[in-house]
């Protein structure tokens, strides 16, 4: 069977603080590494989505409600549910390493 969880795949986080949130896989290790013996993936997602805006709101309130909060985390592959969608993104391999997390 081929790899389902690969770079650029849109996933849903199933467990933890970000359960139910959408995320994108940046890099993955199917076999695991020395410090994490299980298959894991580095994901980036949206922790807090923007709130709805109406016409009657002022500019200050619109700007405040329009903010979003991202998250970057390493997850066990068992805690990710892959979707059928793939995001085309170019990732610099020098920026993504164990020390950057």
Is the predicted pLDDT of residue 29 greater than 60, yes or no?
yes
**Do the beta carbons of residue 7 and residue 92 sit within 8 Å?**
no
**Do the beta carbons of residue 42 and residue 63 sit within 8 Å?**
no
Q: How far is CA 57 from the centre of its chain?
A: 31
Model confidence pLDDT, tens digit, residues 42-95: 899 999 999 999 999 999 999 999 999 999 999 988 999 999 999 887 777 667
């Amino acid at each position: 069977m081929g790899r389902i969880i690969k770079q650029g795949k849109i996933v849903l986080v199933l467990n933890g603080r970000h359960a139910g949130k959408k995320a994108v896989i940046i890099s993955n290790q199917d076999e695991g590494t020395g410090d994490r013996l299980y298959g894991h993936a580095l994901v980036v997602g949206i922790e807090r989505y923007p709130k709805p805006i109406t016409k009657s709101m002022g500019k200050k309130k619109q700007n405040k409600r329009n903010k979003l909060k991202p998250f970057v985390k390493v997850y066990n592959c068992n805690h990710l549910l892959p979707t059928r969608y793939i995001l085309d993104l170019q990732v610099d391999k020098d920026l993504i390493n164990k020390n950057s997390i």
